[in-house]
Chain A
Amino acid sequence: MSELDEFKATYFDECSELLAELEEQFIAIQEGDHDADRLNAVFRAIHSIKGGAGAFGFEQLVEFAHSFETMLDFVRDGRVEMSEEVVSLCIRSNDLVADFVGAARDGVELAEDYGAEELAAFKMYAGEEDDAPMEEFDIEFTPVMVQVGDDDQPEKPVSETPCDEERPDSFDTAPMEPGEGEHWYVKLTPFARLYERANDPLLLFRELMELGDARIKANLTKMPPLGDFDPFGVYCNWEVTLASQNTSEEDIREVFEFVEGDCELIVERRNGQVAAELEVAGQDADNGVSELGEQGNQTSVPAVDDQAATGSGQSGEEEGKVVSFADLAAEIEPAPTADAQGGAGEKKASAAPPEPAKKASPAPAKTSAIQTIRVDLEKVDRVVNMVGELVITQSMLTQQMDDRLRAQYQELVRGVEVLAQTTRGLQDAVMAIRAQPVKSVFSRMPRLVRELNAKTGKKIRLEMVGEHTEIDKTIIEQLSDPLTHMIRNSADHGIEQPEDRVEAGKPEEGIIQLSAEQSGGNIIIAVEDDGGGINRERVLNLAREKGVVSADQQLSDEQIDELVFAPGFSTASAVSDISGRGVGMDVVISNIKKIGGSVHVRSTPGKGTRMQLRLPLTLAVLDVMLVEVAGVPYVVPLSSIVETLQCRRAEFGQGPSGRQVLQVRGEYVHVIDLACRFGMTTEVPAKDRFVVLCEAEGGSKVALMVDQIVGQQQVVIKSLEENFRRIGGIAGGTILGDGSVALIVDVQGLKAPKEQQTAA
């Protein structure tokens, strides 16, 4: 993978996180939470997506994100009201951004006019002034005047000193009006990170200049001789003097919002005196910070002086604020002054003041961000595996402890007990690393429901509960398809058309509730709708028609409900492109079974349907029943076992082919003798053997005949394919307490046609 590809991969990773966050924010906004923080978060996310897209040249994405951002900006400062239409436009646009990102990732070309409608809507809200900044962002380069300190620094041209006649406002501004004595001092010392993330200080300064009259000075003292110059090195910092009356510290910090943490930023309110002192000190100390205008014969020095002279003569438009800032200025004054006197100790100055300065910002209470690191999943899995081994070894040790040993080596016993505890703790902790909130898959569902609303003409609201419930990452990945199918199913078959709902005395808007909760060692995920419920009569008739159940079979209500999961079964009167082709619900059950979960459906006619997934907390550990066949241990996942019985109590029959069937509670079930199936011979007499009744996909049952049932335990699943290959009827392997390998029986695979059996 080339370096660029790696960057791209990281970018797309980040995009998907950002998109998920956007979705979350928009949902909160939709629910009426118009908090400024939310909008800011949205803004940040869109901006980050746009920034990366610009760097990689995804033009469509950049253009769209930019217009989106422009409109959001209008919303943020109140020029556009956060009306319902705007929110829904935002949410639609968010989906489109996701599409653009997806297209960029997969290298797919979207239609030229994709999202044109939304773009037009942005323009409508944000006005036409949208066009100009776009170009600025992209190609057309409008330079900012930066004064470079060049005392015996021959490398002057390295820094940005373009001079452009078209933007005279950047430099040759008239001296400031009296009364503007107070000004802002901003010092930006970028870290290498800032550039690595494709930020450009130039853009920041340009933005800063929109706040007021800014004078920017580049400090090049750290610039090495050309010979030592590292093209990726960071040698430059900037000092900006911003004269603007109505600017608050937040306004300034907001400009640097996206580089927060990637640079050292000092924002100080200074009055003229401080500035003057600093200037004098700066000149005296000759510390290399050349004062603005010293070299360039510019008018700026007088300007600063003016400012200094009129320093305290401030007109207070915002009385309250001014007072507090004045207090603040007093508070922070000593630091820069002392430092300026110190002359060269510039670095210290930049380190000290931000603390008091922060007090000035009233609102942006930064919740201390949770620190995270990105770790290769493979590394985590390796740890999980090793911990699994440790657990096995530990239980092996414990098994070795007999009474004699216990009496003789008490210290050893205590040690082993502590080891057991620590191991358990370690296992939990490691599993927690793999655990993720189900939010990551839940957050894809609102979009689905929106699309379904558009397609079906129904009014459906999605409610999500417990999206912070954590579950193993691998399980989460497997959840997306089943949940999609379940929600589609609820929307298509469950929720009625609005007019039918009204007729039935329900609110026009249908509700699908998606919930997650932990219950013991399981996670329960449920999709519940308040629709019409399952029409049992129709389901049963259809099932009989399609031969899913035989004509004379009597089924309980629950059994009929479960029929919706049978393969090839669909009750939709018309096949729509949403669902109804009979694939889907059986996908749900096969996916869920695959990860050791189970599916249940409960329906109340006229009231609604609840489909519930019961999932294991983690895939790494599986609850199994240990059985023995011809002296070889096998394990059967507990989730697929319905019941076990002794052969002597079971009633067997024989089909015409000689195939054994088991009669259990009025049902005839296909019997598979594992010894026979696995090509082994057993000496255990038939009447002493056991039947393990298992449920395979679609609720169909199969009876496995084994020699012995040893007991239940938890095992760690191991791959056979890693060093060997798939084997028919075997889902994988596991390691037992004594270190030997036991194979996991694949119930579904055993039921499958006999090809595999004859293949060997």
Chain B
Amino acid sequence: MQAFEQRDENDGHDPASGNTMQLIAFLIGEQVYGVEITTVREIRAWNGATPLPNTQEYVRGVINLRGTIVPIFDLRARFGDGITSPTKNHVVVVLSVGEKWVGILVDAVSDILSVSQSDVHGVPEGNNLDSELLNGIVTHDNKMVGLIDLDAIVAGTNTES
């Protein structure tokens, strides 16, 4: 509730050029990940969530987002790195994916990046989890930024197991 901002699609630099996309970059540990800015609805501080019984480990529970119940996924746990022990400094990025709104729990939001479509590289074969959860990788300031595949994130919301 404290740190929340809402953005429109034209916020940021260079909105005109068609092959540029803007990312919200966030951190999980040292690693930078990004999601397209147009999917981001809101960024808010971690304020606890009501745990959901009998769900996967990475489902942290549900929060009340202005009257709607939104599930929160622990991205670290989703990547198989164990459960985040969130503090007040952890951040929930609320995304709209298809018809649904979901939140992802990350360590911090770091930046807004403008990257060219042509800078997006494919995900190297080999690791199933990587290719399942990432859409691609871009380089920014010599750092690797993983593009989160949102559909893969919400895939767990459709089935019971």
Q: Do A and B bind each other?
A: yes
Complex CA–CA separation, A726 to B159 (angstroms): 9
Q: A739-B64, A741-B63, A741-B64 are in contact. Are A723 and B50 (CB under 8 A)?
A: no
CA A741 – CA B71 in complex, angstroms?
11
Do B69 and A727 touch across chains, with their CB atoms under 8 A apart? no
Given contact pairs A728-B54, A740-B48, A759 touches B161 in the complex (Cβ within 8 A): yes
Q: Which of B53, B66, B71, B161 touches A724 (beta carbons < 8 Å)? A: B71
Q: Could you tell me the distance in whole angstroms from the C-beta of A676 to the nearest C-beta in chain B?
A: 10
- Asked whether B100 lies within 8 Å of A759 as measured between CB atoms, the reply is no
- Decide: A724 and B54 in contact? CB cutoff 8 A: no
Question: Does A149 lie at the interface of the complex (its beta carbon under 8 Å from any beta carbon of B)?
Answer: no
Task: Contact check, B161 vs A718: say whether CB atoms are below 8 A apart.
Answer: no
Which of B56, B67, B71 has a CB less than 8 Å from the CB of A718? B67
Cross-chain contact B50 with A742 (CB below 8 angstroms): yes
Cross-interface CB contact of A740 among B64, B67, B102, cutoff 8 Å = B64
A residues 108-162 near B (Cβ < 8 Å) are none
Q: How many of B's residues come within 8 Å of A, CB to CB?
A: 27
- Tell me the complex Cα distance, A733–B63, Å: 10
- Least Cβ–Cβ distance between A655 and chain B, in angstroms: 23
Q: How large is the interface on A (under 10, 10 to 19, 20 to 34, 35 or more residues)?
A: 20 to 34
**In contact, A719 and B50 (Cβ under 8 angstroms):** no
Residues 735-760 (chain A) with a chain B CB within 8 angstroms: 735, 739-743, 756-757, 759-760
Say whether A208 faces chain B, with CB atoms less than 8 Å apart.
no
User: A389 at the A/B interface (Cβ < 8 Å)?
Assistant: yes
Contact with A along B42-59 (1 / 0, CB 8 A): 000000111111111000
With both chains docked as a complex, state the minimum distance between the C-beta of B47 and any C-beta of chain A, in angstroms: 9
In the bound complex, how far is the Cα of B100 from the Cα of A727, in angstroms? 16
Q: Is the CB of A720 within 8 A of B54?
A: no
B70 contacts A by Cβ under 8 Å:
yes
Q: Check B53–A722 contact: CB distance below 8 A.
A: no
Interface of A is mostly: mixed
Determine whether the beta carbon of B53 is less than 8 Å from that of A680: yes
Q: Does B158 reach chain A (CB closer than 8 Å)?
A: yes
**Does A424 sit within 8 A of B, measured CB to CB?**
no
Q: Are the C-beta atoms of A723 and B160 separated by less than 8 Å?
A: no
| B109 beta carbon closer than 8 Å to chain A | no
A56 lies within 8 A of chain B by Cβ = no
A282 within 8 A of B: no
A726:B69 contact, CB within 8 angstroms: no
Chain A residue contacts of B100, Cβ below 8 A = 722-724
Interface of B is mostly: loop
Q: Is B54 a contact partner of A743 (Cβ separation < 8 A)? A: no
**Which single residue of chain A is at the shortest CB-CB distance from B161?**
A759
The verdict on A7 contacting chain B, using a C-beta distance below 8 Å, is: no
A56 to B146, CA, bound (A): 56
Shortest Cβ distance from residue B11 to the other chain A in the assembled complex, whole angstroms: 25
Residues in A63-118 with C-beta less than 8 Å from chain B: none
By the criterion CB–CB under 8 Å, are B62 and A725 in contact?
A: no
Interface: B68 (CB within 8 A):
yes
Contacts of B69 in A (CB 8 A): 718-720, 722-724, 733, 735, 741
User: Which B residues lie within 8 Å of A311 (CB)?
Assistant: none
Expressed in whole angstroms, the Cα–Cα distance for A640 and B99 within the complex equals 33
In the complex, what distance in Å separates the CA atom of A743 from the CA atom of B62? 9
Cross-chain contact A760 with B63 (CB below 8 angstroms): no
Known contacts A720-B62, A724-B62: A741-B160 contact under CB 8 Å: no
**Residue pair B54, A389 in contact (C-beta under 8 Å):** no
A718: chain B residues within 8 A (beta carbon): 67-69
Residues of B within 8 A of A743 (CB): 50, 52-53, 62
Q: Is the CB of A741 within 8 A of B62?
A: yes
Q: Is A313 an interface residue (CB 8 A)?
A: no
A538→B105 CA distance, assembly (Å)? 61
Which of A727, A739, A757 is close to B52, meaning CB atoms less than 8 Å apart? A727
CB neighbours (8 Å) of A727 from chain B are 52-55, 160
Tell whether A608 is near chain B: CB-to-CB under 8 Å.
Answer: no
Residues 102-119 (chain B) with a chain A CB within 8 angstroms: 102
Q: Given A632-B51, A679-B53, A743-B52, answer yes or no on A728-B160 (Cβ-Cβ < 8 Å).
A: yes
- Nearest-neighbour CB distance to chain B for A735, whole angstroms, equals 5
The answer to whether A389 and B160 have CB atoms under 8 Å apart is: no
CA distance A575 to B68 in the complex (A): 48
Chain A nearest CB from B140 CB (Å) reads 31
Set of chain A residues within 8 Å of B55, measured between Cβ atoms: 727, 760
**Once the chains bind, are B54 and A723 in contact (CB under 8 Å)?**
no
Chain A contacts for B68, CB-based, 8 A: 718, 722-723
- A contact residues around B50 at 8 Å (CB): 632-633, 733, 740-743
Q: Which residues of A contact B61 (CB under 8 A)?
A: 741
In the complex, chain A residues whose CB is within 8 Å of the CB of B67 = 385-386, 388-389, 718, 735
Chosen A-B contacts, 12 in total, with CB atoms closer than 8 Å, are: A386-B67, A632-B51, A718-B69, A720-B62, A724-B62, A725-B158, A727-B55, A727-B160, A735-B69, A740-B64, A741-B49, A743-B62
- Further contacts, 7 of them, CB under 8 A, given A388-B67, A735-B69, A760-B53: A633-B50, A723-B100, A729-B54, A735-B67, A741-B69, A759-B160, A759-B161
Which B residues fall within an 8 A CB radius of A?
A: 48-56, 61-64, 66-71, 100-102, 157-161
Interface residues of A (CB under 8 A from B): 385-386, 388-389, 632-633, 677-680, 718-720, 722-730, 733, 735, 739-743, 756-757, 759-760
